[in-house]
Chains A and B, each alone.
Chain A
């Protein structure tokens, strides 16, 4: 388990992750930059400071589990896992190529350290709940973290899972909604509004923490509050910016699922340092 308490170092780590994301998607000529960039701080804090995990021993039974419900944001997860030594950093550029371990969406056949193969939206929270229940049965300290998209939560199954979690008082799971306000075809409010989001989760029996999903100290304290919350599940409603860190991608629906050109990549990298 690694620890980085220094805010500046963690911010630098986030910049490095963003550079990987932009570079690997450019090289692949396809992929999802927007929703990868919006989740960087959340994953950085989780992997550095919150989750109990060991890259040397990825099958450690009592490890915490991470599930990327919105599997299309794979580049952020791959970059973080690679930086932690789970997989090679120098192969990140093979994203989406035939034979690459860095498949278009997280694929456990290629990276066994992944907790779930995702890509079809709406399944991750339920799978995470199964892991939470198993941990409870085994008296394991394992905690489960599931990142969901604000479009993803339009899937009915997410709310079936939400109801289940509160009913069964599952308090070793944390859902994080990457609330970046944009989905595939455009703005969430124009396609299928999910607001009032915090109220929805609260009415389903969850402890809700609303925060700025790019504010590292706020993310830190939200996760400690989640750990201290007993008898009910916790959700972080993390307000984020899709495409965060690259000016021309920020709040731009076009970059949901579009790779930057070589020139755009150069411009993005110039901004990311």
Chain B
């Protein structure tokens, strides 16, 4: 099932780990970087920053709403403030604060949600974040990013810090395949084509990028040429990439570890509807999941390469 690309799928680090490491590097280079935590520093991996820069680290206790607004205050005073927690808690508990203290006044706050999606596994739905992109994208002015691997996460931590304005950065709990070679260039708002193909385009973010590459391999064995696009920036969307994929392949499958409602898929569909409507299929969640090992949960709730390949076959039939 080899894919003819340079993208070998070897297990790399979790994106939350890459975030924690990049944050320390950033802290060394820029004295203005500050970090707020809500009793999850060992899980979000901001504990490395806390150890290195105790004066620029603020423990907020289990109080996410307060943490977000404190971050906005720091950012409003010239700091590059990162607030981090599980994605479910920072987005849901902090939403009003994100709206009125960051989005509306366009404050330079960086929000990081780890343990996103359902691959958190055993802890179950209360800790899983499947609405976070919908919520973050609902906030005008927010840049929303969901990197696929450690290399892209490290790059996007820097890009988020350099961007002036609010950013939501989505990270995962589990180790994921390393997609990119170190040194790969990334840009906010730009998609990256990983595998070329002409029959159908597989668009994904986060850990579904690797599954889409695997799906391209499955499809290739069936004589189907699938293009794979990593779409790390959910907002603003790379509408050119969508238009080109729609016009050149005529079918798009969007896969994501998020509710289909309000996720990347509906945003891609909106973009295609405005430029080049085409057949579309969606691989995503429709309900709350349950506890289990990450692998078992992903399998049961349809987040595998096989699901992506099946969606591509459905799309091709309707083409």
Contact = CB atoms under 8 A, between A and B. Distances in A.
A108 B18 CA distance: 36
Interface stretch (A112-120, A204-212, A218-226, A229-237): A112-120
Interface residues of B, number: 32
Contact of A98 (B63, B88, B288, B296): B296
Nearest to B293: A98
B225 interface: no
Nearest to B287: A109
Nearest to B37: A185
Contact of A151 (B61, B89, B93): B61
Contact of A96 (B63, B126, B291): B291
B277 interface: no
A121 interface: yes
Contacts of A104: 122-124, 126-127, 291
B59 interface: yes
Contacts of A192: 39, 59-63
B122 A28 contact: yes
Contacts, number: 100
A213 interface: no
Tell me which of A31, A117, A184, A185 has the highest count of chain B C-beta atoms within 10 A of its own C-beta. A185
Query: Among B47, B291, B293, which residue has the most Cβ atoms of chain A within 10 A?
Result: B291
A134 interface: no
Interface string A80-110: 0000000000000000111110011101011
Contacts of A155: 62-63, 93
Contacts of B61: 151, 154, 183, 191-192
Contacts of A121: 62
B40 interface: yes
A178 interface: no
Contacts of A107: 124-126, 290-291
B115 to A, nearest CB: 12
Nearest to A153: B62
B42 interface: yes
Nearest to B126: A119
A106 B40 CA distance: 21
A23 interface: no
B62 A96 contact: no
Q: With a 10 A CB-CB cut-off, give which of A28, A31, A98, A122 has the most chain B CB atoms.
A: A98
Contacts of A156: 63, 65-66
B292 A184 contact: no
A151 B124 contact: no
A71 interface: yes
Interface residues of A, number: 32
B158 interface: no
Nearest to B86: A120
Given A98-B297, A105-B124, A191-B61, A120 B88 contact: yes
Nearest to A194: B61
B28 interface: no
Given A30-B122, A103-B291, A152-B62, A120 B39 contact: no
A119 B39 contact: no
Nearest to B289: A98
B275 interface: no
B318 interface: no
Contacts of A99: 290, 292
A28 B122 CA distance: 9
Interface string B60-75: 1111011000000000
Nearest to A100: B291
Given A96-B291, A98-B290, A98-B297, A105 B66 contact: no
A119 B290 contact: no
Given A105-B127, A155-B63, A156-B65, A97 B92 contact: no
A185 B300 contact: no
Contacts of A183: 39, 61-62
A32 to B, nearest CB: 10
Contacts of A120: 88-89, 92-93, 126-127
A122 B65 CA distance: 12
B73 to A, nearest CB: 16
Given A100-B291, A103-B291, A107-B125, A184 B39 contact: yes
Contacts of B297: 98
Interface of B: 37, 39-43, 47, 59-63, 65-66, 88-89, 92-93, 122-127, 288, 290-293, 296-297, 300
25 contacts: A30-B123, A31-B122, A96-B124, A98-B292, A98-B297, A98-B300, A100-B291, A104-B127, A105-B125, A105-B126, A107-B124, A110-B290, A120-B126, A122-B62, A154-B61, A155-B93, A183-B39, A183-B61, A183-B62, A184-B42, A184-B43, A185-B37, A185-B41, A185-B47, A190-B59
Given A122-B62, A151-B62, A184-B42, 17 more contacts: A30-B123, A97-B291, A97-B293, A98-B292, A104-B126, A105-B123, A105-B126, A107-B125, A117-B126, A121-B62, A122-B93, A152-B62, A155-B63, A156-B66, A184-B39, A191-B39, A192-B39
Interface of A: 28, 30-31, 71, 96-100, 103-105, 107, 109-110, 117-122, 151-152, 154-156, 183-185, 190-192
A-B CB proximity, top 4 nearest: A192-B61, A119-B126, A98-B292, A154-B61
